[in-house]
Structures are given as C-alpha cells and as structure tokens.
Amino acid sequence: MRKGNITIRNFWLVLLLALVCVPGLAQDNLKGKNFQSITLESSLKPFKKKDKAYIRAVAHEMFTQWHSLLRHADTVSMMLWTSDGSEILDYKGTMDQPLEWAKYMGNPNTDHEVGSGPESLSLHQRAYVYRDDAPDFTYGDLAFIVKVLKEEGRKVTGKPIKVGATFDPGPEFAKSPFKYEKHPEILGGNAMGHKTFVSSYSLLNGDSESYAGFPDGIPDQTPFGTFFGRQSQHFLDDLGFDYIWLSNGFGFGAEGWSATGAIFSGENFAQEKLASSADKVVGFWKLFREECPDYPIQTRGTNLSVGADLARDAVDLRNIYKGGFNMLPPPNSPWAALDGDFGLELAGYMSRMAMLPDNRFPFRYYTHDPWWINSPWLDRYGREPHDIYLPLAVARIDEEGKIGVPTHLNFLTIDDTYGNMPTQVPDEVMPHILKARYDMPTAPGPLVWVYPFDEYHDWARDYTDRLPEIYYGDWFMRQAINSGLPMNTVISTTSLPGAITNNPGLFKSSILVTIAPEKNSKNEKTLMDFVKNGGQLIVFGPVDHSSKTFMDFINLSNTTPLSGEMELRSEVGIDIIKGEVPQKIRHLSLFSGGGFRTLIKNPKDSFTQALSSVKQGDEVRDMAWLRQDPDWKGGKVVYLRGTNSSSFTGGRLLTPDNPEEFQIVPAMLRQLLGTFGMQLKIEKENVGIKDPVLTINRSDNAFIFSGYNPNSTVKQSFKFEQGAPLILGFETILEDGFSNYTMPTAWHRECRVLLPRPQEWCRLKNFIQAKKG
C-alpha cells in the first residue's frame, strides 16, 4: 500500500516535470526578444453565422493563423472592434439587448440610409451591410464570443488570452443614435466633418433612458467621462472583457487627426485657452477612473506628436502619463499607410516614447481594415515591409542608459472588410516582424534625438509666447526624416544626464540632435559638457531663451527677425539633382518658431565655419554653421536655424512647400551630417522626386539599414566617419569613398564591414598609435 502510494506520487512528479520542462525545451528554439503581449484586433465580421460551433471554429482559426508569431509573446490578446463604442454607451445591463454592431462597409452615420442611393455614392457617403445574411447579435452573443475566444485561444497558444473592448469617438464603424441623435451635445471634434467626434470633456444633457450604470437616466450636465467610465465598468464586468482601448485620439484632446485643434486655428495660437483645455483633457481621465478604476486602458493616440499636440490641441501628455491611470501609451500612428508620411509616424512615435508611464510601449501594424475595403498589407504597402522595418528600428534610451524597444505588438486587424482572414497576410507579414525583432536596436543609432519632453510641457505652462516654438520642433523633424535623415533613437532631455553618467561611452559614436536648451538649465550644462568632452551635437531651431554662456558656446547672436521669402546660400549641399534646384526658401514665422534672426556672433572666430545663410534685400541671417574648439577633445557643435518648409493650407496636416519653388530646409539636416564625417548622398532625376526614408540602427554591433524608397530610380551613396558601409548581399562600385546603391521600395539589410579610404587609414593609424602610446 505504502509502496503503491510512492509509485503514484512519483508518476505525478514525473508528469509534472514533463509538463514544466518540455515546453521550456521547445521555447529554447525561439529566436529574438519576446513581446510581453501580442494583440490580434478583429471585428465581429468573421463570425458570419450565429452558430456556436461555427463561432468556436472561427475563434480557433484566428489564433491558428498567427500561432508561429504568438509563440513569441508572454500574453496574447484579442481586441474586438465590436461596434463603434456606442455598445458601451447604450448598454442597459441585460444580455438579451440587441447589439448594434460594426457590420458595415463605409460610414453608416450619413444622410444616406445604409444600402440606399445611387452606386456613385462613395463609402464615406453611404455604407453597405457587409453581407446580405449578416447575423443579428445580442449582448449575450457577444459575451459568448468573448468566452470562446479565451477558450480557443488558450487551446491554440497555451497562453492566457485577454480580450479588449474598444471605444471610437467618431462615426465610422456602426450606427450610433446615441452620438448623433440622442446626445449630439457631446460632439466637438471635426475629424470627419463638422462636429463628428465625441469630445472627451463634453457634458451630457439629461435623459430618462435606462442604462446599466444609470438605471434612472442620465442626470443633466453629467461629464462624459463619468458616464462613459461607469458604463465601461458595467460592460467590461458583465461581458468578460479584460481591458479597454480608446480609439482615434480619444482622451487626448479634441482633434486627433489634424494639424489644428482647440488652441491652433491654422492662423494663430489661442494661448489663453491652453491651461483650461489641458485640465479638461486630464479631467476626463480622472472622471473615467473614478468610475472604472482598475481595468487597464490602452490607447491609439493622435496622428501627430507630443509637441504639436500640446501646442495645437492642449494635449498634456506628461500629466496623462503621470496621472497613475494604468494606461499603455499610444503606438505609432497607422496613417503613414494612407499618406506615406513616415516622417510624421516616426517623429510622433519617438516623441511619445521619450518619456513613458513605465517601460512599456506598443508597436502597431496595419494589416487589414475591417471598415473601408482596403487591406494595407495587400493594397497600400504593396506587400512591402517598410512600415515594419522603419518603426521597429526605433529605440528609446532611459535615464540608466538602457535601450528600450516595443514591449507590445498589435495588428490592426486580422480580418478584412468582408470578414475574411486570408492566411496570405499573416504568412507574409510574420517573417518580417520576426526579422525586425532579430535585428532590433541594442545600442544608440548614429543619430539620437534628445527630445525636450519636459521642457515643452513646462514652457507651454510657464510662458505666453512659446507655442509656435513647441509646435515647430516636431514638424521640422518630421520633414527631416521624410528627407532621409536616419533618426531612429530618442532620449529625453531629462534622461540624458543620467544616461551619460551611467554609461559615459554610450553616445561616443552618435550625434545628438536637439533644440536650444533653456537658460541655465541642467540640460544646457549637459549638452555643453558633452561637446567639451568630445561629443557631437546639432542644435536646431530658434535660440531665444538660452543663456549668454550657451550662445557664446555656439557663437550665436540674435538680431531683428525676418519672415517670408529669402535667398539661400549654402555650402552643405551634396545631393546630385538633375535640372533646376530653387535657391530660395520660405520662412513663415507662425510655423517656424518665430522670425529668422540668427547671426554668427563673431565671424572672425577661427573655430567657427559658416555653412549657410539667407538674404532678404540687404538683410543677411546665418542659417547654419559649425563650431569646433580645439579644447573640446574633438567635440563639435553644428547650429541650424532651419525653417518649417511646411504650412497649413486647409488639409489635415501641414503641407510641405513645393520643392520646385522653395528648398526644403529640413533636408539640410541630413546633408549637415557631413560635417561629422557621415555623408548620406542622394542622386535623383529631378527635385520633385521624393527622397528615400532611411533608418540605421545598431544591433549586436552591426549597422542595420532599413529604407523606404518611394522612387526606385534614386541612387543612395553612403560614407561614414568609419568608412564606406558595405550592405550585405550587394555589390557596389566605390566612388570618392562612397558606397553606392539603388534600392527597391522597401529594404532591410545588415552591414558589418566599412571600408576607410587610404587617407582615412592614415588618420586611423595615428589614432591607434596615440591610443597605444
């Protein structure tokens, strides 16, 4: 008897060990850094029949398609685009309540009834139901779907499955009598027409309907955050959801998609509204959390960036991050898939990760669209992976000097507008995600954006005249990246001193790029010490609030401001462009952080080299120069005043100047890298051809190049301080020390060899001898 017990006990011990160890052995084969979480986003459209076995089979297939990637995650989530979020607002607390769900193609909230009207109406004017036999669902059906997703996902992946609910502020996805008939007073945003988006800080008029959280109706002047929070708490509890996603800029201001907003009209900044508007935004979060305290919040954010959002729409991201709201910061915007503006995507992404609520941040990839009959992987990106490799080349650095890469990965979405899930998409996309992860940044890239996250928030609060400057910096970086600047590493000004202290050699091979520091600030001293100790620095933008010490350091003085068209004189152009290239710029003060008023203070300074200037009539201003004091141990600083070369012309975003008429000044930033020995040259047929977008990240000591070449005739030439980089797998003919390549639309390649020129070798030899001596 006793022996038998031991045998049985040993059997269970062996079984337990097998269960623990065998999966562990299998995991040893996985390559690359795991994501903490991978989220598959989906509408309910794949559930084409309201049959329980069918629903279960579809759920199983959803996870099966992505299984080889889901192995690389600690947790798997399914985020449901059930409706437009009105299912939360309308919820009465009963499972037999009919569910208005997102079964449409196009906008169902227009003057044209769904499925009506002439063929010539667009999807934005009239929606269709996605199939004639689209099922009707109740809230009880939704609860069943949530339950089945967790069960089938667990079976396929062996991992815990979380299911997320979504709230969208706009009219896109399902009919919403709540937003557009019963409570239009909550509409404030104009992203899809006048007053079409819910404002997070609106007040509700009273009504007498019964809701789960308000069984006796909504009291008059109830804050939307209070109502939405309480409804969310009931909805998430009752239907088995684990978190909520706030879509399309919701919770971040009034206008999620536009270059204008509550503060910036396109013509001026209403500074007087900023403090109260920013308080309202944060107030929404507080009100929501009072009613729905514990469910994690994930966010989409805006299409723009921290500085631009703050100056144009009073988005105080710092207060939202620091509010203790248990929220995941916004990922990269998906809009580059639509408009090709990868500069804005990357600049916005980096600005938002410069500081974080904790160490988590997501990357999101646009595979399908379940609403607007497009599947970006197939028909917008052309099955080219540039919007995978470019954003996944991005890294942040924290105050300890440690590299941070995305912890979360989302796919918007796994189903298309017809509710189909072709395996082609996951089968083609997953290898690129994994490859990008293998090649993820492990050290700072050649350029590091020192982002003034805290300064922007401080200046917006403490000054009455700095919103144009706050607005300008991110737009400048957007256009510089669109012009080929390989900017894919970010650290905040606040984290920089700690990172340098903890790891003094961290930025030895990098060029720091930032705006002028505040007078007598810690950042000002950090930047100057960095250069004096051999560091490389570029400062761009106006220098209106720095100390005399800093201005002397870069040899700068200010005089009367200029605005408008100016002649450009420049020594830095290395690009080869056939045909006429304009030699003038347009400096609009409103979009460029004020007037153009910078001069080299002491032109006779032997350590200063003028690089570019502008002339308007008899007035001259200096655009760019290099300063290199021999006492700085090889350190250099380049100053570039710059101008936006973009303006508001009535569209969603700022419109770049016509390159056939004006030079695109942010492109000068790439060409100025030559002063540090890094030359990235472009040769193209005419000035109107878009420049390639480029990232260079360091991974496992390699240089990883990723590119998006909108025009595949453009030739790129590379010469670094260390030599000409050789791209793995290609041949090149070296010319004047450059390696030369003509690349396809999307490319991603490793480099582990650089070829110095003979004269550079002599310099290196001296360096080595000096080191040895």
Member of 12, 752, 763, 766 binding another protein (CB under 8 A): 752
Among 8, 13, 129, 728, binds another protein (CB under 8 A): 728
Q: Which of residues 428-487 bind another protein (CB under 8 A)?
A: 442-443
> Residue-wise over 330-358: b if at least 16 C-beta within 10 A, else e?
bbbbbbbbeebbbbbbbbbbbbbbbbbbe
Helix (H, G, I), strand (E, B) or coil at 498: helix
Retrieve residue 515's tokens: 């705006």
Stretch that binds another protein, among 135-143, 303-311, 643-651, 733-741 (CB under 8 A): 733-741
Q: Least distance (Å) from another protein to the CB of residue 33?
A: 14
Terminal alpha carbon distance of the chain: 80
Selected from 702, 710, 715, 745, the binder of another protein by CB under 8 A is 702
Q: Which residues contact 412 (CB under 8 A, 6 or more apart)?
A: 41, 334, 364, 365, 366, 367, 368, 369
Residue 608 or 739 with smaller CB distance to another protein: 739
Between 49 and 508, CB nearer to another protein: 508
User: DSSP state, 548?
Assistant: H
When asked if residue 755 is in the footprint of another protein (CB under 8 A), the reply is: yes
User: Can you say whether residue 382 is alpha, beta or left, with left for phi > 0 and alpha for psi between -120 and 50 degrees?
Assistant: left
Quote the least distance from Cβ 703 to another protein, whole Å: 7
Segment interacting with another protein (CB under 8 A) among 117-125, 183-191, 478-486, 765-773: 765-773
Region near another protein per CB under 8 A, out of 253-261, 319-327, 363-371, 698-706: 698-706
List the structure tokens of 472: 């300008």
Residue from 17, 275, 581, 768 touching another protein (CB under 8 A): that is 768
Count Cβ atoms below 10 Å from residue 252 Cβ, excluding itself: 26
Rounded to whole angstroms, how far apart are CA atoms 281 and 319? 9
Structural element, H or E, at residue 63: helix 52-65
Mark 351-380 with x for binding to another protein (rule: CB under 8 A) and - for no binding. Answer: ------------------------------
Q: Which stretch binds another protein (CB under 8 A): 133-141, 334-342, 575-583, 761-769?
A: 761-769
Q: Which is nearer to another protein, 295 or 703 (CB)?
A: 703
Q: Rule CB under 8 A: is residue 620 a binding residue for another protein?
A: no
Contact present, 464 and 297 (Cβ < 8 Å) = no
Question: Which of residues 34 and 503 has its CB atom nearest to another protein in the complex?
Answer: 503
For residue 708, the minimal CB distance to another protein (Å) is: 22
User: Applying CB under 8 A, does 731 fall inside the site for another protein?
Assistant: yes
CB of 676 to another protein, least distance (A): 14
Sheet holding 489-492, edge to edge: 403-404, 395-397, 489-492, 447-451, 511-515, 536-540, 636-640, 619-627, 608-616, 564-570, 584-587
**Among 154-162, 453-461, 514-522, 727-735, which window interacts with another protein (CB under 8 A)?**
727-735
Residues 655 and 344 sit within 8 Å (Cβ to Cβ): no
Q: Minimum distance from CB of 706 to another protein (Å)?
A: 17
Do 305 and 352 touch, CB atoms closer than 8 A? yes
Smallest gap, in angstroms, from Cβ of residue 439 to another protein? 12
| CA atoms of 581 and 579, how far apart (whole Å) | 7
As measured in angstroms, the least distance from the Cβ of 757 to another protein is: 8
Of 36, 271, 509, 547, the one binding another protein (CB under 8 A) is: 509
Is residue 28 close enough to count as binding another protein by CB under 8 A?
Answer: no
Q: Do residues 638 and 538 touch, judged by C-beta distance below 8 A? A: yes
Nearer of residues 574 and 702 to another protein, judged by Cβ: 702
SS (H, E, C) 66-94: CHHHHCCEEEEEEEEECCCCHHHHCCCCC
Which tokens go with 138? 């109740």
The whole-angstrom separation of Cα 739 and Cα 753 is 11
Q: What is the identity of the amino acid at 636?
A: K
Instruction: Please state, in angstroms and as integers, the Cα–Cα distance from residue 408 to each residue in 198, 304, 329, 331, 439, following that order.
Output: 27, 20, 10, 9, 17
* Site for another protein contains 739 (CB under 8 A): yes
Mask 547-586, x = binds another protein (CB under 8 A)? ----------------------------------------
Q: Which two tokens stand for residue 1?
A: 């008897």
**Contact yes or no for 679/673 (Cβ under 8 A):** yes
Q: Does 701 bind another protein (CB under 8 A)?
A: yes
What is the DSSP secondary-structure string of 330-377? P---TTHHHH--HHHHHHHHHHHHSS-SSS--EEEEE--BTTTTB-HH
Tell me whether residue 10 or residue 501 sits nearer to another protein (CB atom).
Answer: 501
Taking the complex as a whole, how short is the minimal distance between the CB of residue 184 and another protein, in angstroms? Answer: 58
Among 390, 414, 447, 506, binds another protein (CB under 8 A): 506
Q: Does 628 bind another protein (CB under 8 A)?
A: no
Min separation Cβ 727 and another protein, Å: 7
- Determine whether 511 is exposed, middle or buried from the number of CB atoms within 10 Å of its CB (0-12, 13-18, 19+): buried
Residue 734 engages another protein in binding (rule: CB under 8 A): yes
Q: Which stretch binds another protein (CB under 8 A): 166-174, 517-525, 586-594, 719-727?
A: 719-727
CA distance 207 to 374: 39
Query: Which range, of 218-226, 406-414, 674-682, 747-755, touches another protein by CB under 8 A?
Result: 747-755
Identify residues 174-203 at the interface with another protein (CB under 8 A): none
| Coil, strand or helix at 191 | strand
**Cβ at position 368, least distance to another protein in Å:** 34
For another protein, which is the closer residue by CB, 11 or 761? 761
Scanning 3-11, 578-586, 593-601, 694-702 for contacts with another protein by CB under 8 A, the matching segment is 694-702
Q: Which is nearer to another protein, 463 or 730 (CB)?
A: 730
Among 507, 625, 648, 676, binds another protein (CB under 8 A): 507
- Is residue 32 a contact residue for another protein (CB under 8 A)? no
Binding mask 271-310 for another protein (x = CB under 8 A): ----------------------------------------
Asked whether position 95 contacts another protein by CB under 8 A, the answer is no
Cis peptide bond N-terminal to 166, omega within 30 = no
Cβ at position 678, least distance to another protein in Å? 14
Residues whose CB falls within 8 Å of the CB of residue 721, separated by 6 or more in sequence, listed in order: 676, 677, 678
DSSP codes, 428-447: HHHHHHHHHHHT--SB--SE
Figure out which of the listed residues 421, 726, 743, 746 binds another protein, where binding follows CB under 8 A: 726
Applying CB under 8 A, the site for another protein has a residue count of 37
In a 10 Å sphere around its CB, with 0-12 CB exposed, 13-18 middle and 19+ buried, how is residue 56 labelled? middle
Q: Which stretch binds another protein (CB under 8 A): 125-133, 411-419, 649-657, 746-754?
A: 746-754
Which listed residue (273, 508, 633, 763) binds another protein by CB under 8 A?
508
**Contact between 727 and another protein per CB under 8 A:** yes
The stretch among 30-38, 207-215, 316-324, 500-508 that binds another protein (CB under 8 A) is 500-508
Smallest gap, in angstroms, from Cβ of residue 586 to another protein?
40
397 scored as a contact of another protein (CB under 8 A): no
For the CA atoms of 388, 394, 396, 397, what is the dihedral angle to 10 degrees? Answer: 130
d(C-alpha 581, C-alpha 19), whole Å: 68
Residues of the shown chain interacting with another protein in the complex, contacts defined by CB under 8 A: 442-443, 503-509, 700-703, 722-723, 726-734, 739, 751-756, 758, 761, 764, 767-768, 771
